[in-house]
Amino acid sequence: MTYTETKEQGENKYYYRVKSIRKGKKVDKQRVYLGGNLKKQELHEKEQEADKELENTKEKPAKNEEISKKPIKKSNENKKINTQGITAEKDDFSEWFTQIMLKADLADYTAVSGCMVFKPTAWAMWEKIREECDKRFKKLGVQNVYFPMFIPEKYLLKEQEHVEDFAPEVAWVTHAGNTKLSEKLAVRPTSEAIMYPSLSKWIRSYRDLPLKMNQWVNVVRWEFNNPVPFFRTREFIFNEGHTAFETEKEAIAEGPNILNAYKEVCEDYLAIYGIIGRKTEKEKFAGAIFSEKIHYIMPNGKATEGPCFHHDGQNFAKAYDVKFLNQNEKEQYVFQNTWAISTRMLGVMFAIHSDDKGLILPPKIAPNPIVIIPILSKEKKEEVLKIANEIKETLNEYSPILDDREDYRPGYKFNEYELKGIPIRIEFGARDLEKNEVIVARRDTKEKQSIKISELETEIPKILNEIQKSLFEKSKKLFKSKIKSSNNLNEIKEIIKNKEVGFTPMCNNPDCEAKLKSETGGAKALFIDNKKIQSEKCIICNKKADYFVYVAKTY
Ligand SMILES: [Zn+2]
């Protein structure tokens, strides 16, 4: 049986579509959130959409299981996998990506569908991102804090636009042991609703402003879409910056500082090129006045959103009553911003740099950018090992791996570290030592060169630097090569079909964006460009365009 449930909270009404299935004495219920204070016609449309979704939900989680089961089986035969390398081509993105992250030992699955394990290499890279961002946030006067991960239901319901956006994905805690809680608690999908009631207590006067807080936390958004490790998981990890200001001007001025800090970390460490751009009204964060994000383009032509900055104006301040006495002794609401970078950036970096042989890591983010592989034979084994250890000592500041395992052949080891994306491999045997040389192989270009042992200390930093720079340049070239501009809808459709990104004039009517999506088989208006509109017409409705947008399918 399917029916609509109405819930009243003060003056607001919230609607849920419920499907109940009787199994003997038990009744199984599935709920889809429809929205708040809907008009009759709107409600009817949402009900129809929800019915379709309810029909599908049973099958979708099964698909998740399928993805998570397949690789677990394989990962039991770890050794075999590593010698096999990647069997998918980069064009088959999801298969290729899943293989890389499992075989390069970055992540794994558990019994919890849609959630993932970060293995040590991946986690170390996230720690680096966190460390570099934190340094920059602190320079901007931001302090780190920690708020509870549980949010009382009534707090979450306070900002309506916000709750509408998150409600269908919220995971709830309803019991402690066998005792039903008097009020159910949401596991944070984001923290505005738990932080801002505290701000309302803490901020009394203009002297308490600006207030700049940040927390590094996990959040849960229980999506039913197919999970992709690092890109879309039900639990993910990010920073949440929350700042409050006296004036709108000050609040808006924070945007470029934050976005540039993120951009710098992503460019300098992850070596990926992206563009900062404002989202359209339709695509902005629920509850924000405007949203700006850094956008990246992947080799398969799909775009992905990176770090974001939202200016929330006084929307949340009004919902959570964050007021203060201003310099004229008048009461006013604060102006607020929120901003974030998530573990998705690791996924973006892996996808952009890697190839059919496996992962390619930029030296500055790789926890161990160098591997030393001595080729051990019976003669002069001791001497080769001694030199290997000396080289390790010389390059100590890069935490090199010294692989002196004797039960693995050199070829096996080469493949393994190629798969894992280690930027530089140093290999040598007894014969190389006669010339006081080693062979240095680059992972990105696969070039090899002989270098005198005495010159490693000066040459290796140069090569690491070159790799870092060349990966960034390659990513920039990829981005630029994918953009194709056109004022014609049929051409834009072709561009999207060819796995590229369109650049086109549009008006700001959300209906045009919706139509663009259906016409192109799912591409959306990614962000607004700074280029000024002259007399161009909207590609969809043919009325005067408001701006140029990038059009792409996204992850
Ligand atoms: Zn239009």
Q: Is 167 helix (H, G, I), strand (E, B) or coil?
A: helix
Check residue 542 and give its pLDDT. Answer: 96
Single-letter amino acid, residue 322: V
Q: What is the pLDDT of residue 506?
A: 97
Distance 123 CA to ligand 1 centre (A): 44
**537 alpha carbon to ligand 1 midpoint, in Å?**
8
Nearby residues of 228 by Cβ (< 8 Å), 6 or more positions away: 94, 97, 98, 347, 555
pLDDT in tens, 393-445: 999 999 999 999 999 999 999 999 999 999 999 999 999 999 999 999 999 99
What is the CA(510)–ligand 1 centre distance, in A?
A: 8
Lowest mean pLDDT among 4-8, 80-84, 498-502, 510-514: 80-84
User: If you measure from the C-alpha of residue 545 to the centroid of ligand 1, how many angstroms do you get, rounded to a whole number?
Assistant: 7
Find the 550 Cα to ligand 1 centroid distance in Å.
15
Over residues 183-198, mean pLDDT = 95
pLDDT, average across residues 239-268: 98
Distance 285 CA to ligand 1 centre (A): 21
185 C-alpha to center of ligand 1: Å? 42
Tell me the average pLDDT of the chain: 89
Helices then strands, counting H and E runs in the chain, come out as 17, 26
Ligand 1 centre distance from Cα of residue 505 (Å) = 9
How far, in Å, is the centroid of ligand 1 from the Cα of 256? 29
Q: How far is the CA of 17 from the centre of ligand 1 (A)?
A: 32
Q: Which amino acid is at 188?
A: R
Ligand 1 centroid from CA 513, angstroms: 8
Give the distance (Å) from ligand 1 centre to CA of residue 516: 9
DSSP string, 67-91: HHHHHHHHHTTHHHHHHH---S-TT
**pLDDT band of 23, cuts 50, 70, 90:** low
CA–centroid distance, 289 to ligand 1, in Å, is 21
User: CA–CA separation, 505 vs 84, rounded Å?
Assistant: 48
Q: What is the pLDDT of residue 480?
A: 96
Distance from chain centroid for Cα 347: 7
Out of 9-13, 68-72, 455-459, least confident range: 68-72
**CB under 8 Å, gap of 24 or more: what pairs does 539-543 form?**
539/487, 539/488, 539/489, 539/492, 539/504, 539/505, 539/506, 540/489, 540/506, 540/507, 540/512, 540/515, 540/516, 541/507, 541/509, 541/511, 541/512, 543/507
Kindly give, in sequence order, each residue whose CB lies less than 8 Å from that of residue 487, ignoring residues fewer than 6 positions away. Answer: 504, 505, 536, 537, 539
Task: Write the CB contacts of 434 (distance below 8 Å, at least 6 apart in sequence).
Answer: none
Residue 133 tokens read as 């961002």
Between the CA of 543 and the centroid of ligand 1 the distance, in Å, is 6
**pLDDT tens-digit readout, 38-93:** 877 788 888 887 887 677 544 333 333 333 333 333 333 343 344 457 777 777 77
Closest CA to 516 of 235, 268, 282: 282
The tens digit of pLDDT for each residue in 483-505 reads: 999 999 999 999 999 999 999 99
Ligand 1 is a single-atom ion; what residues have CB below 5 A from it?
507, 509, 512, 538, 540-541
How far is the centre of ligand 1, averaged over its atoms, from the C-alpha of 492 (Å)? Answer: 15
431 C-alpha to center of ligand 1: Å? 71
Average pLDDT over residues 9-37: 71
The pLDDT assigned to 235 comes to: 96
- Sorted by where each starts, the structural domains of the chain and their CATH numbers stand as 2-57 (no CATH), 120-353 (3.30.930.10), 370-472 (3.40.50.800), 486-552 (3.30.110.30)
How far is ligand 1, taken at its centre, from the CA of residue 512, in Å? 5
> Per-residue pLDDT for 465 more than 50?
yes
For residue 315, the CA-to-ligand 1 centroid distance in Å is 28
* pLDDT tens column, 283-300: 988 789 999 999 999 988
> Cα dihedral sign for 103, 104, 109, 114?
negative
The pLDDT score that the predictor gives to residue 278 is: 96
Give yes or no for residue 242 having a pLDDT over 80: yes
Among the listed ranges 144-153, 162-171, 214-223, 271-280, which one has the minimum average pLDDT value? Answer: 162-171
In this predicted model, what pLDDT tens digit does every residue of 341-385 receive, in sequence order? 999 999 999 999 998 889 999 999 999 999 999 999 888 899 999
Ligand 1 mean position, distance from CA 539 (Å): 7
Quote the longest CA-to-CA distance of the chain: 86
pLDDT band at 10 (very low <50, low <70, confident <90, very high): low
- C-alpha to C-alpha distances, 148 to 44, 235, 359, 477, 501, nearest whole angstrom: 37, 16, 36, 43, 41
203-224 pLDDT tens trace: 999 999 999 999 999 999 998 8
Tokens encoding 46:
């949402």
Residue 538 pLDDT: 97
Q: In the chain, what percentage of residues exceed pLDDT 70?
A: 92
Is residue 164 pLDDT above 50, yes or no? yes
Residue 141 pLDDT: 98
Ligand 1: distance of its center to the CA of 542 in Å?
6
